Structure formats: C-alpha cells, structure tokens
Chains A and B, each alone.
Chain A
C-alpha cells in the first residue's frame, strides 16, 4: 500500500499539459450515452468536462489510477466534482489544457477503513481565455477491513 509520505508527495504533480479538440463523433456518442438528443450548434455536452481535461492534460484515467496506486475493482470511487464553465465548450475548437494534483490526504472512514482522498485540478483555455476548470476528488480505498461499497 502507498505510504502516507508517498501519498503527500503527489501534491504538486503536474500533468504534461497539451491540447484537446472535441470531435463531433465523440460528442455525439457522449451525448447519446446521457440519453439526450444531439446538442445544437456544435455545442459540446457539458459532461465532456470529465474526459476532455484528463486526456488534454496529457494524462489518463489509467495513469491517475497508477498514481493513486489503485488495487482493483471497488478500490476507486468518486468523491466530488466541481466543474466551472466560463464559456460554452464546442466541437472542433483546440483547447490548451494544463493541470496538477492539488490535494492528497489519508483518512479513516467511519467503519475503520483507510481511504486516501486525491484531488486534481485541470484548466482548459480557448486561446488566452479560461474556458473551463475542473476540480475532481477521487477516493482510493485501502485494505478493506470491512465490507464497504461506498
């Protein structure tokens, strides 16, 4: 299991950064997955703010799992999202993306299991304009001492 010092050392880890262009096909499929008809006027469905920042920042869900040393099914859970939209996101716009891990702390939940909480923040820029910012908090469950699917 990752040590507490290793966990704390994640704070400040910067993702490589890069660019992301939301393709029509992925926006169409993503929107369909939510159960909605396609968005009008090349607008991206707001839920694009999950994967576009992660991939655009040059990282991936798999790498985030590795950084947090996830240990298998049920070991990772979502804590919270804070997503800010400063302009509507659109298909085929090249966004510059950058971000880092901003928080990492070890906690013990109310039934005695160790839960490490890790937060990362990523910003998407349209030219020099900040278009969107996400702050996502994930929890990594360690050594399941008690049955817990939260």
Chain B
C-alpha cells in the first residue's frame, strides 16, 4: 500500500566509476571529452576528475524507481541538473510520493525525486510511476 508522503527506498551508487563513463560515451557516441579525458577538465578546475554523464545520474534515480515499483513502472521523468557528478562520488537517489491518482484505469504515484551527494541535491525533479495491483489498496 502506498500513501501520499511515503518515502521511496533509496538507491546508492557507492562510487561513480570512470570506466563506466567510457563505456557510456561509446554507447552514446558522445564526443564530449569531459566524460573520459581528465586533462580536458583542467580549465574547469577539475583536473584529475571526469564528469559523469547526465543520463547516468538519471539512471540511478530510475533504478530506485524500478526497484520500488517494477521494471515497467515509469510513465514520465522530468528532471533538472543542478551540479556535476564526478568520478569517485558517492550518490544516493531518493524520492517521496506527493500525489496518487488514477489515469485511464491505471493507479499512478506522482513523486518528487532527487539525487544527492553529501546531502546536496545534484539532480532534482518529478516522476510519474504506475503502481501495480500490489499497491491497489492505495486509494
């Protein structure tokens, strides 16, 4: 059963991995060197660090939602990116239910979602999540 105000179980990435950024850059065909060339970031004062891809930061939030409500639960994600996430960072995805409604016979939770590093929110936004029959007593 889900209620307005419920906290979604958090999801933690223990250490953002630069090797995964390289793989991600290849998949995305992403030529932006800030994700894989430490020297490219010297001008930004980030020498020795690389910047995680935004989709990966969002991916941690997605993983939290999938673990909570199932692999086909996501209907909408609306997020903004407040600060860059760097290799080696520990980030924690979190969320809270703000509204529950029915859309075309489907029970949905509207949630605030975020990604935090050391308590600072680096990604913030909202998610619309379909709730399975397991949550049917929510209304």
**Footprint of B on A, CB under 8 Å?**
26, 29-30, 32-36, 39-41, 43, 45-47, 50-51, 55, 60-62, 65, 73-74, 76-85, 88, 147, 149-150
Q: Are A80 and B23 interface neighbours, CB within 8 A?
A: no
Q: Are B27 and A33 interface neighbours, CB within 8 A?
A: yes
Q: Are A84 and B76 interface neighbours, CB within 8 A?
A: yes
Pick from B55, B62, B72, B81: contact of A80, CB under 8 Å: B81
1/0 per residue B90-118: CB within 8 Å of A? 00000000000000000000000000000
1/0 per residue B53-69: CB within 8 Å of A? 11110111011001000
Which range holds the interface residue count of chain B?
Answer: 35 or more
Q: Are B62 and A34 interface neighbours, CB within 8 A?
A: yes
Q: Are A34 and B76 interface neighbours, CB within 8 A?
A: no
B2 at the interface (CB under 8 A from A): no
> Which chain A residues border B4 with CB–CB below 8 Å?
none
Q: Determine which residue in B34, B40, B41, B125 has the highest number of CB atoms from chain A within 10 A of its CB, and name it.
A: B34
In the complex, which residue of chain B has the Cβ closest to the Cβ of A84?
B76
Q: Are A46 and B29 interface neighbours, CB within 8 A?
A: no
Q: Are B29 and A60 interface neighbours, CB within 8 A?
A: yes
> Which chain A residues border B27 with CB–CB below 8 Å?
26, 29-30, 33, 51
The answer for the CA separation of A29 and B41 in the assembled complex, in Å, is 26
Q: Are B20 and A32 interface neighbours, CB within 8 A?
A: yes
The answer for the CA separation of A55 and B29 in the assembled complex, in Å, is 9
**What 12 additional pairs, Cβ within 8 angstroms, besides A45-B62, A82-B77, A82-B78?**
A33-B21, A34-B63, A39-B71, A43-B71, A46-B77, A47-B59, A51-B28, A74-B41, A80-B78, A84-B75, A85-B75, A147-B45
> Which chain A residues border B59 with CB–CB below 8 Å?
33-36, 45, 47
The answer for the CA separation of A26 and B55 in the assembled complex, in Å, is 14
Per CB-CB distance, the 9 closest pairs between chain A and chain B, nearest first, are: A34-B59, A50-B55, A80-B80, A78-B54, A88-B72, A73-B40, A78-B81, A47-B59, A33-B20
If the complex has contacts A47-B55, A61-B29, are A149 and B46 also in contact, measured as CB distance less than 8 A?
yes
> Which chain A residues border B76 with CB–CB below 8 Å?
82-85
Q: Determine which residue in B13, B28, B76, B80 has the highest number of CB atoms from chain A within 10 A of its CB, and name it.
A: B28
Measured between C-beta atoms, what is the minimum distance from A55 to chain B in Å? 7
> Which chain A residues border B53 with CB–CB below 8 Å?
50
Measured between C-beta atoms, what is the minimum distance from B59 to chain A in Å? 3
The answer for the CA separation of A80 and B97 in the assembled complex, in Å, is 21
A-B contact pairs, 19 of them (CB 8 A): A34-B59, A35-B63, A36-B63, A41-B71, A47-B58, A55-B29, A61-B29, A73-B44, A74-B34, A76-B32, A78-B81, A80-B81, A81-B77, A81-B79, A82-B76, A82-B77, A85-B76, A149-B44, A149-B45
